[in-house]
Amino acid sequence: MELYSNIALFVLAFFLLWVGSGIAVHAITKISYGLRMSSFFVSFLIMGFFTSITEMMVGINAVVNKQPEIFVGNLIGSSIVIFLLVIPLLAFLGKGVNLNHSFKFKDLVIATLVVGFPTILILDGKLSLIDLVICLILYFYFAFMQEKQNKTFRRLILVNLNKSTMYLNMAKVLVAVLLVYFASNILVKQTVALAQALGASTFIISLLIISVGTNIPELSIAIRAMLAKKKDIAFGNYLGSATLNTFELGLFGLISDKPILTTGSNFSMLVFLYALIAFLYFAKSQKSISRSEGFVLLLFYLLFLFFEIFTGSGWKLFA
């Protein structure tokens, strides 16, 4: 009965995340319409940031509740979900997806390194102070290079923005953040309970389950893009969200006062790293992800799940 109660609370929390993140994304989009920004700024920084609110709130709650393994599992799992589930689903169901042409291939390689490096760092089962600092340095280097190339902040000019509309949308963002924070608090507490009930580590539950829930904004954007038949989506949103996970990992890790240990399967982490290499190959060859390539990346995700569930040292349910 307790297990069913935990699952019900998980479902409730995910529903609140869906509502809250939807409000935030819609409101920030309205605000962005009144600003003269580059498309890169809107997709990479603005949308990338606001679709990451869920991960941020889970991270804050994990730090407050002294459960660092939860935000580590969630943030790494979130990057995996974006690259091996969200984008591939959009490519497979939407019959291919074009990548944003404002990205040079060199930028995509650096971004992929930023996304994949935390996975390399946890292969030894822990995250040290040096590891966390490296995560922050990598992210800031990538962000600095993008700002240097795009001159984003210099182009930011306020134009024809109705103040009442702006205040209303800012209020909506605030309400959304509070709602997502409340839902994230439920998630963190129920993750501990569910991990105990299933004989799994909180890291594994976060890696496999919470990471899917906190990517509800990205999944909803993918669904809306497919329904609107807009195959040429703003890839910057997904890349911005995934690279921001590395920044959050370094930040929350430095704030946390507990040693950070991970219990996932090295096999599954290696699957993700190989999948990132495959992603880069697909992106370089066609400057797009075709339907068949999306299917291949989905197979990588299934392989990741298989290794994590059946060989992960933090999962005892199938032992």
Tens digits of residue pLDDT in 90-125 = 788 777 777 655 567 788 888 899 999 999 999 888
- Kindly report which listed range (225-229, 272-276, 294-298) carries the lowest average pLDDT score: 225-229
SS3 of the chain: the string is CHHHHHHHHHHHHHHHHHHHHHHHHHHHHHHHHCEECCHHHHHHHHHHHHCCHHHHHHHHHHHHCCCHHHHHHHHHHHHHHHHHHHHHHHHHHCCCEECCCCCCHHHHHHHHHHHHHHHHHHHHCEECHHHHHHHHHHHHHHHHHHHHHHCCHHHCEECCCCHHHHHHHHHHHHHHHHHHHHHHHHHHHHHHHHHHHHCECHHHHHHHHHHHHCCHHHHHHHHHHHHCCCCCCCHHHHHHHHHHHHHHHHHHHHHCCCCEECCCCHHHHHHHHHHHHHHHHHHHHHCEECHHHHHHHHHHHHHHHHHHHHHCCCECCCC
Kindly tell me the sign of the dihedral angle through the C-alpha atoms of 253, 255, 260, 262: negative
246 pLDDT band (50/70/90 cuts)?
A: very high
Between 157-166, 172-181, 210-219, the lowest mean confidence (pLDDT) is in: 157-166
How many other CB atoms sit within 10 Å of the CB of residue 298? 18
Q: What average pLDDT does range 256-274 have in this prediction?
A: 84
| Position with higher pLDDT, 98 vs 226 | 98
- What's the angle, vertex CA 180, arms to CA 174 and CA 185, rounded to 5? 130
Average pLDDT of the chain is 78
The pLDDT of residue 319 is 41
Q: Which residues pair with 97 in a beta bridge?
A: 289
- Residue 224: the pLDDT is 63
Overall average pLDDT of the 68-95 stretch: 86
State how far the Cα of 309 lies from the Cα of 319, in Å rounded to an integer.
10
Q: Find the range with the poorest average confidence among 83-87, 128-132, 158-162.
A: 158-162
Q: Which residues pair with 315 in a beta bridge?
A: 200
Among 151-165, 190-204, 229-243, 272-286, the minimum mean pLDDT is found in 151-165
Q: 48-52, 119-123, 162-166, 199-203: which range is least confident on average?
A: 162-166
| pLDDT score at 158 | 47
Mean pLDDT of 228-235: 53
Q: How far apart are CA 20 and CA 177, in angstroms?
A: 7
Domain borders along the chain are 2-311
pTM: 0.80
Joined together, the tokens standing for residue 217 give 């904004």
Q: Between 199 and 67, where is the model more confident?
A: 67
Give yes or no for residue 59 having a pLDDT over 90.
no
More confident residue, 275 or 62: 275
- Bigger pLDDT: 95 or 280? 280
Residue 156 confidence (pLDDT) above 60: no
Question: Is the pLDDT higher at 100 or at 164?
Answer: 164
Confidence of residue 262 (pLDDT cuts 50, 70, 90): confident
**In 3D, which of 13, 14, 18, 31 has the Cα closest to residue 173?**
31
User: Can you give the pLDDT at residue 101?
Assistant: 53
How far is Cα of residue 182 from the mean position of the Cα atoms in its chain? Answer: 19
Most confident of 8-22, 105-119, 207-221, 257-271: 105-119
Amino acid at 267: F
Mean pLDDT of 225-240: 61
Higher pLDDT, 195 or 124: 124
In this predicted model, what pLDDT tens digit does every residue of 10-21 receive, in sequence order? 788 878 877 877
Q: What is the pLDDT of residue 273?
A: 94
Fold topology of 2-311 = A middle domain of Talin 1 (1.20.1420)
